[in-house]
Amino acid sequence: MEMSADYSSRAEAATGRDAQPRNGVLTVLGLETSCDETAASVVRLHPTVLGGRAEVLSSIVHSQIDDHAAYGGVVPEIAARSHVEMIDGVTRRAMAEAGLDYADLDGVAATAGPGLVGGVMVGLSYGKAVSLARGLPLVAVNHLEGHAVSARLGAEVAYPFLLLLVSGGHCQLLEVRGIGDMSRIGATIDDAAGEAFDKIAKALGLGYPGGPALERLAATGDGSKIDLPRALLGRKDCDFSFSGLKTAAFRIAQACETEQDKADLADAVQNAIARQLSDRSERALAAYAAEHPHRLFVVAGGVAANKTIRATLEATAARHGFDFLAPPMVYCTDNAAMIALAGAERLALGLTNDVDVIARPRWPLDEARALSDPSHKPGRKGAKA
């Protein structure tokens, strides 16, 4: 079918126009649909000597917890259908809360991966539609890059810094030199910390989402009564492993007879995960300090909302002379404000995308390292990251 002249001109404007910020300020609509939250946000990036102050004008998140609770985890097909139903209303609410019209925007940013690809496609397609209809630059954002910059939503943070990205699907240590410029130092060789939390919580009958439920139960437990295995002892790298812990905890959970037994196991699991995150981070902190005078340790991702893990990692950073920073609790879990901010930072550098950009189920932040030294070797199930 032949494209109309009007549509063609809008497409050219959307994909070819450079950002033209008002007085150096960039206002960006962000969209996030990589898992089980449909989110939209408007963020304004003000230029500063530290690289930009983020002002969150709106942040709307529609959770699908009730849709997935009966299944004990996220069902991709249900998630994608919910995103289709909710994305327009959530975006309208975000624009209304910000008090802006599309004419006030400088660009639109959408998560293009990694994640459940059916959901990713929904938000990315909606972002493309906004870009084409309104003649706005489109920025395809790596969901992990959104988490990497999320600490900048609560404070002015200068690059570079050392990052521990720890969530339900990812666990890695990265040197962050700037937007689009990150190197992997270590990563999980099997399961992520958040996945371990969720699976062990399910074994304890705590329902979904498991991480927050396990944290609440752990508050009444005594983990010192239970001896759990410690992974990767003696290894000199900064990688993580949580599959052994998950298996051992699952077996113990089958033998729990009382609620106190469950609480003790929950506390032991939480402490074991915090200890491993601390141990591996200490290696990275020591190596990073030897090469960088700017000592800042940032912890981001959904697991960063766990208070015990925050406190443990903050103490770890202090022992090595690092300042510690984590995003505000509301921006630890998936949200669109972090996508909008990453999009604004990319837009400020002129990094935009054509409307034929594709959704990616896997998208490592350090693609060169992922190709030369994959954290998950190809096999029957393929690489996870």
- 191, burial (CB in 10 Å: exposed 0-12, middle 13-18, buried 19+): buried
Q: Quick one: CA torsion of 230, 235, 240, 246, rounded to 10 degrees?
A: -30
379 pLDDT higher than 50: yes
Task: Report the alpha-carbon distance of residue 112 to residue 91 in Å, rounded.
Answer: 17
Domains and CATH numbers, the chain: 5-154+332-366 (3.30.420.40), 161-326 (3.30.420.40)
Check pLDDT > 70 for residue 378: no
Residue listed under structure tokens 């506390």: 267
Q: For 59-63, 208-212, 311-315, 372-376, which range has the lowest pLDDT when averaged over its residues?
A: 372-376
CA gap 245, 261 in Å, rounded: 17
Average pLDDT, the chain: 90
pLDDT for the residue numbered 377? 59
Note the pTM of the prediction, 2 decimals: 0.89
Q: How many CB atoms lie within 10 A of CB 330?
A: 14
Q: What is the DSSP string of 229-283?
A: --TTTT--S--B--HHHHHHHHHHHHH--SHHHHHHHHHHHHHHHHHHHHHHHHH
- Cα-based angle 97, 100, 103 (whole degrees, multiple of 5): 150
Mean pLDDT of 80-95: 98
The predicted-structure confidence for 317-364, as pLDDT tens digits, reads as follows 999 999 999 999 999 999 999 999 999 999 999 999 999 999 999 998
Question: According to the model, what pLDDT value does residue 205 have?
Answer: 93
Residue 102 carries which DSSP code? Answer: G
Least trusted range by pLDDT, from 22-26, 179-183, 236-240 = 22-26
What are the pLDDT digits (tens) for 26-67?
A: 999 999 999 999 999 999 999 987 778 999 999 999 999 888
Which tens digits make up the pLDDT trace of 147-161?
Answer: 999 999 989 999 999
N- to C-terminal Cα separation, the chain = 38
pLDDT at 370 exceeding the cut of 80: no
